[in-house]
Amino acid sequence: MHDAAGHSEAAEDQRQLRSGSSPWRMLQHSLPRTPLLADLRCDVAIVGAGITGSFAAEALARQGLSVVVVDRLMPGRGSTAASTAMLQWEIDRSLTELTELYGLDKAADIYRRSYAATADLCDYIQALGISCLFAKRSSLYLGGGDTGLTQLAREHGLRRQVDLPGDLLDRGTLIERFMMDRPGALLSPGSAEADPLCLSLGLLRIALAQGAVLVEDEVVAYDWSSDSASIGLAGGRTVEARHLVLATGYEMPDFITTDLHRRSSSWCLATVPQQPSALWPERALIWESSHPYLYARTTDDGRIVVGGEDQATENVKEREQLMPDKIAEITSKMRNLWPYASYEIAHAWSAEFGETDDGLPLVGPVPGAARVLAAYGYGGNGITFSYMASRILAARIAGTRRPWFDDFALDRTAP
């Protein structure tokens, strides 16, 4: 058995992925979870009941598989509760950057898949009828920092070349339509927003209704052999499965040795509800490409949610100490961009954030660990990637393989 516990003070600290409070907690409902009183066998055991584990649990339970989901916390209380839940198809690396890394054919393929996945995700949430304050939105990718109109025009040209939708706005048009003064922007359809906690819990509730079991415990050991995989729980019980899915968010068990990802921290705030006239047109999702970047959205009850100021620290105390300065900086940047709102802050929080060098998720078999699959939807559109991960893993478990799955492989070589 591979010991995954590591009960040191540092490990305890590491587990505290979030500080402060996000606006989503108010809407949460609890789900039935039980400690395990006897060993279990199932088709798929999923470690982690955040948004990634929830998408996977729903998809796999719907395929008629017996599913056990294990989380040491209340479901959704990891990074999912801290997410700003902008459901976007534009990934962390622009199409221009991804083309420089992988060439246009592969970059375009990845972008088109992300676009299609976001459209599917929207249909899926609506078809399931999950009440999660879901709304379709445009996205406004603002120039800033090194990204001027020339760079935006280049990105827009590439997107058009590969049939991705969106308009290029020059500075004048941007001011006229959005009252925001930046060198230009790309305005694109096809994104959405949701309450991440409600979405995650809604998915899990549907999975439970389809027979999935939610276990409250910590996985402290992993084992795999040729015909099964198993996890050992802190409570002493074992779950044996045909397949194991790791959906542990920004904490990976130490037998995953990929060096493609790095962890940092991000800070966010939510204002008090605004008058509707104090919110920007279309309530578009905003992504400013300055360094460090700024992202913003609105909520169903009229709050402005803004995040950014990412910094490479995993230390909880440092993250909390930095909070007042980071929140002040984010407020000042947002006020500069959009001076028409009240910036009375109702919620401020920070959380760990993971990204990969090429901006793509880590999904698929874990090298050297038979029957163990990873679902790590890292990056600024981690939730879209979590959804894609659930589809890829469901296909793999059903015995289907597609060449493009390898774009997200844990052992891929990033250039």
Ligand X SMILES: Cc1cc2nc3c(=O)[nH]c(=O)nc-3n(C[C@H](O)[C@H](O)[C@H](O)COP(=O)(O)OP(=O)(O)OC[C@H]3O[C@@H](n4cnc5c(N)ncnc54)[C@H](O)[C@@H]3O)c2cc1C
Q: CA–CA separation, 388 vs 113, rounded Å?
A: 9
Q: Which two tokens stand for residue 54?
A: 């929830």
CB 170, min distance to ligand X, A = 27
Tokens of 200: 């995650």
| CA proximity to 33, closest of 202, 216, 187 | 216
Which residues have a Cβ under 8 Å from the Cβ of 374 and sit 6 or more positions away? 245, 246, 252, 256, 362, 363, 364, 365, 366, 410
Please state whether the peptide bond connecting residue 32 to the residue before it is cis, i.e. omega within 30 degrees of 0.
Answer: no
Footprint (CB under 6 A) of ligand X, residues 17-36: 17
To ligand X, the closest distance from the beta carbon of 64 in angstroms equals 23
Q: Is residue 48 a contact residue for ligand X (CB under 6 A)?
A: yes
Binding segment for ligand X among 6-14, 169-177, 315-323, 373-381 (CB under 6 A)? 373-381
Stretch that binds ligand X, among 44-52, 96-104, 314-322, 392-400 (CB under 6 A): 44-52
Task: Show the site string, 396-415: x = touches ligand X by CB under 6 A, - = not.
Answer: --------------------
Distance of CA 133 to the CA centre of its chain: 17
Q: Which of residues 36, 44, 45, 53 is near ligand X by CB under 6 A?
A: 53
Grouping H, G, I as helix, E, B as strand and the rest as coil, residue 83 is coil
219 binds ligand X (CB under 6 A): yes
Q: Work out how close the CB of 245 gets to ligand X at its nearest, in angstroms, rounded to a whole number.
A: 11
Distance between CA 229 and CA 222 in Å, rounded?
8
47 is a site residue for ligand X (CB under 6 A): yes
Of 43, 35, 114, residue with least CA distance to 70:
35
Are β-strands 67-71 and 213-216 bridged in parallel, bridged antiparallel, or unpaired? Answer: parallel
Binding mask 300-339 toward ligand X (x if CB under 6 A, else -) reads -------x--------------------------------
- Give the shortest CB-235-to-ligand X separation in angstroms: 11
Q: How far is the CB of 87 from ligand X (least distance, A)?
A: 6
For ligand X, the closer of residues 149 and 396 by Cβ is 396
DSSP annotation string for 206-249: HHHHTT-EEEE--EEEEEE-SS-EEEEETTS-EEEEEEEEE--T
Closer CB to ligand X, 213 or 219, in the complex: 219
| Angle subtended at Cα 37 by Cα 205 and Cα 15, rounded to the nearest 5 degrees | 65
For residue 270, what are its two tokens?
Answer: 């939510």
**Interface residues for ligand X in 74-93 (CB under 6 A)?**
77-80, 82-87
State yes or no: residue 390 binds ligand X (CB under 6 A): no
The number of beta carbons lying within 10 Å of the beta carbon of residue 357 is: 13
Q: For ligand X, which residue of 28, 62, 63, 73 counts as binding (CB under 6 A)?
A: 73
Smallest distance from ligand X to CB 80, Å: 3
Quick one: which segment of 71-79, 89-97, 272-280, 405-413 binds ligand X (CB under 6 A)?
A: 71-79
For residue 37, the minimal CB distance to ligand X (Å) is: 17
Helix (H) or strand (E) holding 13: helix 9-15
Burial class (CB in 10 A: 0-12, 13-18, 19+), 379: buried
Q: Which residues of 22-56 are buried (b: 16+ CB within 10 A; e: fewer)?
A: bbbeeebeeeebeebeeebebbbbbbbbbbbbbbb
Task: Report in angstroms how near the CB of residue 272 gets to ligand X at its nearest.
Answer: 20
Q: How far is CA 261 from the centre of its chain?
A: 14
Q: Which is nearer to ligand X, 16 or 342 (CB)?
A: 16
280 vs 29, 294, 301, CA distance in Å?
31, 16, 14
In this complex, which beta carbon is closest to ligand X, that of residue 149 or of residue 207?
207
Which residues, numbered 258-287, are part of the site for ligand X (CB under 6 A)? 266, 268
| Nearer Cβ to ligand X (182/347) | 347
- Give me the least distance between CB of 253 and ligand X, in Å please: 7
Q: Is 139 in the site for ligand X (CB under 6 A)?
A: no
| Distance of closest approach, residue 143 Cβ to ligand X, in angstroms | 20
Binds ligand X (CB under 6 A): choice among 230, 274, 299, 381: 381
- The 10 Å Cβ neighbour count of residue 210 is 16
Binding site for ligand X (CB under 6 A): 4, 17, 47-53, 70-73, 77-80, 82-87, 218-219, 247-249, 251, 266, 268, 307, 351, 353, 377, 380-384, 386
